[in-house]
Structure 1
Amino acid sequence: MAATHVNPTRMELTRLKKKLITATRGHKLLKDKRDELMRQFLDLVRENKALRERVEQGIASANKNFVLARAGMSNEVLNVALMAPKQEVYLETEARNVMSVEIPVFEYKTRTSDANDIYSYGFAFTSSDLDGAVKSLADILPDMLRLAECEKSCQLMAAEIEKTRRRVNALEHVMIPEMQENIKYITMKLDENERSTQIRLMKVKDMMLEQAHHYSQRNS
């Protein structure tokens, strides 16, 4: 048992009591952090699910329109139409601290503000299905970026939750019980030593009284 390796002194007892107070406070803070991380993690998971459904629906719609456009246009016309895009997208990444977890934040901006610049071709020789496919992809771009944020944030939060959970369990099931056991052991040892000291003092007192009594009898 760990208590047998502890030096049973009052200084060690005071140190362990202070350490126990700190560990108890740390345990509470870590539990609060874990609970808050779990709450935000579940919110992100729900948002992630809704975003994924919208993104998959948008991609499916875009693919359907591309298939229809390919069926109504030759490969050469389709390739020329998409060869030189007019619009450009610039992606900026930042980080936001959430409960000591650095989660990514994506922001994007386009080269021009004209919504029609997503079409890099004229409308005379192209199919309207191609317009629908390009529009579908442009519309789901914000959701795709937010989905990437959510999925990465979920991964990072899950790792932090697991790490925090292990720390909470280590404090709750190992460190705090061990310190409590050591404090109990030292307290028992100190009480035992104090009782032994009192017994010795009482014996010394009795011996001194007995010697004084014999001395007084010899002098009388």
Structure 2
Amino acid sequence: MPAINVNPTRQELTRLKGRLRTSIRGHKLLKDKRDELMKQFMDVVRENRALRKKVEEGLARAHGSFTVASALMSTEMLEQSLMYPKQSVELDMTFQNIMSVNVPQYHFKTRSEEPGEIYPYGFAATSGELDGAVEALSGVFQDMLKLAEIEKTSQLLAEEIEKTRRRVNALEYVKIPQMEEAIKYISMKLDENERSNTIRLMKVKDMLLKEAIEEKREADARAVEAFGGHPDDPGEL
């Protein structure tokens, strides 16, 4: 018996064969999608690794400069220098479709294009190390934003790869074998029914032939009784 309940009819056999063809095509498409997603995912992972290293190095430089600046300046002066920023940032988000996966894209835009706008203080009372720290943070900020975009993309692609992999395995190891088993079962049942019908027809034919022979014998016997001899003997007529 197959794993799924089916009626052994030709209509059900035709329906299952159609579903099997569709499932095989879907299985191939899903495998192609999974392979392309894996390729895209590996590209994103490589980019993520390189960008994360760059961001960590930039943050380390900024942290080192801030550490030196805090040693050279008083805490009050450092807090006062960074209390009121001059530059502002606008962040927009759009989506890009990668193999039916909508991944975010962040767009960074500053209010002013002037490089000096990143410094919210005057240079007379501050340390040069603070300038270096602010500049390092300004340079690493866009990379951090790109890193967030790439990590979210890799997360979404990984989730889609896992879903696609489960669908491929379900079709390959469950659905398609079940349908093939059901088709085989129905075909065997139909062949068995056809053989049974053929045997019944042969038996009916033998019965009809036997009845015809008996009727002919009875007719011949009545003819012999009627004419007093064999109906095929002309001398008796």
* Band the TM-score falls in, shorter-chain normalisation: over 0.9
**Higher RCO by CA contacts (8 Å cutoff, separation 6 or greater):** 1
Query: Structure 2 CA distance, aligned partners of 1:98 and 1:208?
Result: 73
The residue type equivalent to 1:19 in the other structure is: R
1:155 aligns with 2:155: yes
1:131-170 alignment runs, 5 A limit:
131-170=131-170
Unmatched 5+ stretches in structure 2: 221-237
Query: Structure 1 CA distance, aligned partners of 2:37 and 2:144?
Result: 24
Aligned residue number for residue 198 of structure 1 = 198
Q: C-alpha deviations, 1:130-173, integer Å up to 9, x for none?
A: 11111111111121011001111111111111111111100000
Task: Classify 1:130/1:28 alpha carbon distance in 2 versus 1 (closer, same or farther; 3 Å).
Answer: same
Query: Structure 1 CA distance, aligned partners of 2:24 and 2:172?
Result: 9
Query: Structure 2 CA distance, aligned partners of 1:37 and 1:142?
Result: 26
Give the RMSD, CA atoms, in angstroms: 1.1
The answer (yes or no) to whether the contact 2:4–2:178 under 8 Å persists in 1 is: no
Query: Structure 2 CA distance, aligned partners of 1:28 and 1:4?
Result: 23
Unmatched 5+ stretches in structure 1: none
SS at match of 1:86: coil
The residue type equivalent to 2:92 in the other structure is: E
SS at match of 2:125: coil
SS at match of 2:82: helix
Aligned residue number for residue 74 of structure 2 = 74
Greater radius of gyration (CA): 2
Q: Report the TM-score when normalising by structure 1.
A: 0.97
Aligned residue number for residue 189 of structure 1 = 189
Aligned residue number for residue 45 of structure 1 = 45
Query: Structure 2 CA distance, aligned partners of 1:116 and 1:48?
Result: 30
SS at match of 2:90: strand
Deviates more, 1:172-181 or 1:99-108: 99-108
Report deviation, 1:5.
Answer: 2.6
1:114 aligns with 2:114: yes
Q: Report the TM-score when normalising by structure 2.
A: 0.90
The residue type equivalent to 2:83 in the other structure is: M
Query: Structure 2 CA distance, aligned partners of 1:67 and 1:75?
Result: 11
The answer (yes or no) to whether the contact 1:3–1:185 under 8 Å persists in 2 is: no
The answer (yes or no) to whether the contact 1:27–1:168 under 8 Å persists in 2 is: yes
Query: Structure 1 CA distance, aligned partners of 2:5 and 2:97?
Result: 42
Aligned residue number for residue 219 of structure 1 = 219
SS at match of 2:187: helix
The answer (yes or no) to whether the contact 1:52–1:147 under 8 Å persists in 2 is: yes
Aligned residue number for residue 100 of structure 2 = 100
Query: Structure 2 CA distance, aligned partners of 1:149 and 1:3?
Result: 46
Query: Structure 1 CA distance, aligned partners of 2:3 and 2:46?
Result: 48
The residue type equivalent to 2:213 in the other structure is: H
Percentage identity across paired residues of the two chains: 60
The answer (yes or no) to whether the contact 2:106–2:146 under 8 Å persists in 1 is: yes
Aligned residue number for residue 89 of structure 1 = 89
